[in-house]
Amino acid sequence: MGQALYREWRPATFAQVVGQAHAVTALRNAVRQGRVSHAYLFTGPRGTGKTSLAKILARAVNCLDPRDGEPCGACVNCVEIQRGAHLDVTELDAASNRGIEQMRDLREKIRYAPTSAARKVYIVDEVHALTADAANAILKTLEEPPPHALFLLCTTDPDRLPETVLSRCQRFALRRLKPEEMVERLERIAADIGMVPEPGVVAAIAVRAEGGLRDAIGLLEQLWTFAGDRPTMAQLVELQGGVRQDEVDRLFEILEAGDGRGCVRWLDDVCERGAEPREVARDLARAARARMRAAVERTGRVDPGWLAVLERLQSVTADSRGAGDPRLALELCLYRCAEAISPAQAAPAPPAGEPRAAAAGEPERAGGWNELLARVRARDRRVWALLQGARGRAEDRVVEIVFAFPAHREEAGRPEFMAVMRQAVQDVWGEGWTIRLGVAPGSAKEGATRR
């Protein structure tokens, strides 16, 4: 992600920090009143301003000409700290494994008075990643800090810090920014670089950054590189690999109709034009959330179908960070969403035991197929969802299940899924049946593109 704009627009004073009013006010007052303590811990998600605040504080306490708690930005201390060249200010990033040596002799060096600054500052980014020895060195110093020492610790994961460190720091929890808080800054940056985005683009960038201003500025820069001075919404979607609002609307109509196969066709279409399943899942989760919130505000109640959709999209978004096939995961998720919204259409419940005639237009569906689906559904929804896109035939004591896609056939072949199908077949047709899994002809191409 682009970093040049972010570095250029990084806040240099407390007043320039976007959001985080509680931390900004408290720190600025502490500087103004000369009551800055020995150790601060900044926690919060990535890109919310933890190290920016630490650097502003490092300058503010050492500035030769501070104004109302703000660093001047012009004195030798401000300039040197800004450049990362001041002898009394040590910055290290524990996550990249640097700074082990700095930590080793920290305990000796911290005792010496600073050379030209008022406070000797250690800024440690991702402090939870420090080695035990290094964390111990900090801890020992925190127990009896020399009066000139100032520790500014930053972490995205405070739960991994020892309680002894937490208890010795004054803590500021930075929060994710709301999109509207980021929009003004993004618009100013865009104006500064001569960019005139299509209406809605800046707001969409703010939403996609999920609360991190650094990511938002990075995305703006990427879009600038990718699309030039007049970026459009379509270009932003293309860059991110997500889906457009009209595509989201179309899918939501398909879901409301409980059309599982329509979902697969929709996913094929958007992936065909280059969308990334992971980004698609994220966009859908955001859109479903916005839709649900709007409905709650309008009606005062939560629609259980859409709540289930949101939960499913949320969990597939979380899962997609791990291994596995994100497209298959999203596909199954969409089946389940269709089922959640419109269970009546998605799951016909035939009278038990009565062999049904094949549905019109589906002559290959043998009598009993719908009942088989109902039995499978009762046992395992995941297997049932897989079978939604398949066609079945039962004759001569062989049940043949033909999937539209090789990946579905592969998934259905898992032993635990086969066991569910075997039991359901036995429930419907009795013992002695064999199950064969196949893939519809002409699906090889789709199968190849889904990996």
* Sites of contact with Zn ion (CB under 5 A): 63, 71-72, 75, 78
Burial (0-12, 13-18, 19+ Cβ within 10 Å), 393: middle
Specify the residue, 67 or 414, whose C-beta has the smaller distance to Zn ion.
Answer: 67
User: Comparing C-alpha atoms, which of 147, 150, 136 is closest to residue 107?
Assistant: 136
Residue 118 C-beta: closest distance to Zn ion, Å? 11
Residue 111 C-beta: closest distance to Zn ion, Å? 26
Specify the residue, 72 or 239, whose C-beta has the smaller distance to Zn ion.
Answer: 72
Residue 300 C-beta: closest distance to Zn ion, Å? 54
- Long-range residue pairs from 337-340, CB within 8 A, at least 24 positions apart, any chain: 337/255, 337/263, 337/308, 337/309, 337/312, 337/313, 338/254, 338/255, 338/257, 338/258, 338/259, 338/260, 338/262, 338/263, 339/258, 339/260, 339/381, 339/385, 340/305, 340/308, 340/309, 340/312
Q: How far is the C-alpha of 354 from the C-alpha of 351, rounded, in Å? A: 6
Residue 217 C-beta: closest distance to Zn ion, Å? 25
Q: How far is the C-alpha of 20 from the C-alpha of 14, rounded, in Å? A: 10
Phi-psi region of 274 (alpha: psi -120 to 50; beta: other; left: phi over 0): left
Residue 77 C-beta: closest distance to Zn ion, Å? 6
Specify the residue, 15 or 173, whose C-beta has the smaller distance to Zn ion.
Answer: 15
Residue 58 C-beta: closest distance to Zn ion, Å? 11
Helix 245-256 and helix 260-272: axis angle, to 10°?
Answer: 160
Q: How far is the C-alpha of 80 from the C-alpha of 57, rounded, in Å? A: 14
Q: How far is the C-alpha of 418 from the C-alpha of 147, rounded, in Å? A: 69
Specify the residue, 16 or 131, whose C-beta has the smaller distance to Zn ion.
Answer: 16
In order of 272, 313, 422, 448, the CA distances from 266 in angstroms are 10, 16, 31, 18
Residue 27 C-beta: closest distance to Zn ion, Å? 16
Specify the residue, 12 or 296, whose C-beta has the smaller distance to Zn ion.
Answer: 12
Residue 152 C-beta: closest distance to Zn ion, Å? 17
Q: Which residue type occupies 119?
A: R
Specify the residue, 63 or 386, whose C-beta has the smaller distance to Zn ion.
Answer: 63
Q: How far is the C-alpha of 238 from the C-alpha of 282, rounded, in Å? A: 14
Specify the residue, 63 or 287, whose C-beta has the smaller distance to Zn ion.
Answer: 63
User: Comparing C-alpha atoms, which of 121, 109, 11 is closest to residue 61?
Assistant: 121
Specify the residue, 12 or 418, whose C-beta has the smaller distance to Zn ion.
Answer: 12
Q: How far is the C-alpha of 315 from the C-alpha of 293, rounded, in Å? A: 18
Specify the residue, 31 or 386, whose C-beta has the smaller distance to Zn ion.
Answer: 31
For the sheet containing 39-43, what is the strand order? 89-93, 120-125, 149-155, 39-43, 170-173
Residue 14 C-beta: closest distance to Zn ion, Å? 13
User: Comparing C-alpha atoms, which of 154, 157, 205 is closest to residue 1?
Assistant: 205
Specify the residue, 116 or 164, whose C-beta has the smaller distance to Zn ion.
Answer: 116
- Residue 150 bridge partners (DSSP): 121
Q: Which residue type occupies 105?
A: D
Residue 75 C-beta: closest distance to Zn ion, Å? 3
